[in-house]
Structure 1
């Protein structure tokens, strides 16, 4: 049965979007390893996201704005319709800043990242992840947002019985 051109194009865009989100998650997983806690991630409502005094009204922001507030000049790694991602490298920590044009893209990214687990600072249409999760609380003072712990899926590291 022949497909309509609109359906074919829509399914290709859907696949492309999933590919971009998947690539972002893979780059995040290799750049930032999660902590060992196994708490479930809560759903954050926009009303629960706080703006920090230093940030004023940051969200939704650009990668460069968030990076400036945290003291770095980002190297843009991903520039796509669904997200932008920049890498910040400082003396203290390496971290990723990811921004999204809509909340639905951010939620899709978080859903995909939940497989890997880890802590994330989540704001309105942006996410910050760091190799040192304790840095997220320092960034929260400057940016606002909420620190979320995502549950990883897959085998857990446990001592062997041999």
Structure 2
């Protein structure tokens, strides 16, 4: 039986992608559980929460699933699509601040599998619903203010279990 050619030209194996995705899934599940289990607040805490929310809210107001091109536009780059496969689309952005990758997924389960695989390599990623951005750590916060999402530290996940940095 002939094998079907692998779609995309990243040079990465599907196994590595699957492992990254599994790490991402675990990280997001833990993050969701942690945020869902927060306790009640008093008036002072609510004021602080409102201040934090204003600081952590993206200026673009977008945290929904989006296409690579939409996220690239919000970050101010003209993207070049590098991978267009059934399980993900990936584009490269070249900017004066540095290069970064924007990856989108047709379903959350693919993103989680991709993040699980990424844990092998460690690093920090900006993650939103059905998308992830890979960039140098210093670029993640400015990108987060433009597109939203959460910065996840996969180095910490590799050592102690899934965690995400606080916005």
In structure 1, the partner of 2:16 is 22
* Partner Cα distance (1:73, 1:46) in 2: 36
In structure 1, the partner of 2:149 is 145
* Partner Cα distance (1:66, 1:147) in 2: 16
Please tell me whether the aligned partners of residues 20 and 80 of structure 1 are also in contact (alpha carbons under 8 angstroms): no
Unaligned runs of 5+ in 1: 1-11, 27-40, 155-162
1:123 to 128, 131, 149: 128
CA change 1:83–1:135 in 2 (3 A) is: same
2:107 to 102, 112, 123: 102
* Shift in Å, 1:19: 4.3
2:32 to 45, 65, 71: 45
**1:72 aligned to 2:59?**
no
Q: Matched residue pairs, number?
A: 127
When the two structures are superposed, what TM-score results if normalisation uses the length of structure 2?
Answer: 0.63
CA change 1:24–1:84 in 2 (3 A) is: farther
* Shift in Å, 1:124: 0.4
2:60 to 55, 64, 72: 55
In structure 2, the partner of 1:5 is none
Q: Which one has the bigger strand percentage? A: 1
* Shift in Å, 1:20: 4.1
Q: Which one has the bigger helix percentage? A: 2
* Partner Cα distance (1:75, 1:86) in 2: 5
When the two structures are superposed, what TM-score results if normalisation uses the length of structure 1?
Answer: 0.65
Alignment deviations for residues 103-122 of structure 1 (CA, whole Å, 9 cap, x no partner): 10000000000000000000
